[in-house]
Amino acid sequence: MSYALYRRGGAGLRLVTIVGLVLFVVWSAAPVVWLILSSLLQQKALIARPPDLSPANLTLDNFVTVVASAAALGRGILNSLIVALFSTAVALALGAPAAYALARLSVQRANAIAFLVLATQMLPSIAIAIPLFLVISRIGLIDNVFSLGVVYLSFNLPIVIWILRGFFLGIPAGLEKAAAIDGAGVLRTFWHIVLPISIPPLGAAAVFAFVEAWNEFFFALILTRQSAQTVPLVIAAFAGQYQTVFGQMMAAALISVVPVIVLAVVFRDWIVRGFADGMMKG
């Protein structure tokens, strides 16, 4: 909807737009609000039907208990950091040159290759879980953070390639021609000219890959035991056989999302610019 059409629509259209935006914000913020609220409620208030949200039931005991027994949560956060950073770094190191080659170089059937890269994401995780488990167990890398990081490349690398390829397709050809005239080869052009102007999409791809690896649960459940458990598995452990400690689970979840929130706030400009550039130029 253009701005001129919005202005001509009058008060009725503006009201509908405002109401729609408010509903969208409420719908998006409701899970976060409930996460914060439930982490501050006592167990008896959470299991009541309906939940008792009176101020008398608010407490910090859930956070105190989680922090007091922080060994498992701290290990899970450390493992998630190692896995996410490793997977993100390798995905960028491999994905950026691959995306540039598919976008700017004379690669035969580049579009078909790009489609095949994206098609790998259409395969359900359960279809490769058992073969992957057998292979990793045969080489003795079950419950290893780096093997888990390599597995996470299976979904991080294709996404990074697609995000960056959309940006590289929109780079003016004059930049590369000018570099060629000055005697720069493909690698020098990519390193000294293309990468410096690609910081926003690189940042957006890095944040996206980091969050995907940080939140992944299925492969971590299959490929880890104790020492390499990530944050999602540690949080899931609060669901016992006879009782689920909802308040402590929510408190641990709230603590675990802090790094992601900080990452999104610090790099918000890069994220917006990176995805916007990729969509407009792709």
Contacts of residue 155, defined as CB under 8 A and 6 or more positions apart, other chains included, come to 120, 121, 212
Confidence of residue 282 (pLDDT cuts 50, 70, 90): very low
pLDDT at 278: 52
Is residue 281 predicted with pLDDT exceeding 60? Answer: no
Q: Tell me the C-alpha distance between 95 and 206, whole Å.
A: 11
Secondary structure of residue 228 in the 3-state scheme: coil
Residue 25 has pLDDT above 80, yes or no: yes
Residue owning tokens 């998006």: 28
Mean pLDDT of 206-211: 90
Average pLDDT, the chain: 83
Query: Mean pLDDT across the stretch 88-109?
Result: 90
| Domain 61-281 is found in CATH 3.90.1150.10 | no
31-76: per-residue pLDDT in tens? Answer: 888 888 888 888 888 888 888 888 888 888 888 888 776 677 888 8
Domain with CATH 1.10.3720.10 in the chain: 61-281
